[in-house]
Amino acid sequence: MKKKFVLIITHGNFGIELLKSAEMIMGDQEDAAALGLRLGESVDDLRNKVEEIIVENQKADKDIIILVDILGGSPSNVSLYMLKKYGNIELITGVNMLMLIEIFQSRESEELDKLIEKAIDSTVNGIKRYNLKGKDSDC
């Protein structure tokens, strides 16, 4: 089974801090990096950084999973460009802590397609609403 490299790309420091938080919970993670597009930085600079990481990891014959914050933003647009240019990249939008932890927990034991499915399912199933409005509260 191929190693899986996880690249988080977001607006600002969100992805960088998300990776730090996940590592606080799960320990240091090899084959993971985060980039943030900060105010005043160019999309071209981001594209160059992303491309360097992709080329390096494709040479090492790793599967590449890119996680971005929102579809339609610069991080996702850069990632879609890379997907078209290089292929063999998985792109998931809506990155969050549940998704990242699921990927880190399962990436060594699951094939790529199953891992992506589990990551998305964990996110969807992890969203719950609680309130105290009714008598039958689950809280």
**How would residue 136 be classed by pLDDT, with cut points 50, 70 and 90?**
low
The CATH class, in words, for 8-120 is alpha beta
Sheet containing strand 89-93, edge to edge, reads: 32-37, 4-11, 63-68, 89-93
Mean residue pLDDT of the chain comes to: 96
Identify each DSSP E strand in 1-139 by its residue range. 4-11, 32-37, 63-68, 89-93
pTM for this model (two decimals): 0.93
Which pLDDT score, from 0 to 100, does residue 133 have? 84
pLDDT for position 135? 64
Would you list the domain boundaries of the chain?
8-120
pLDDT band for position 109 (50/70/90)? very high
> What average pLDDT does this structure show over 33-37?
99
**Cα 64 to Cα 36, 130, 138, distances in angstroms:** 18, 36, 39
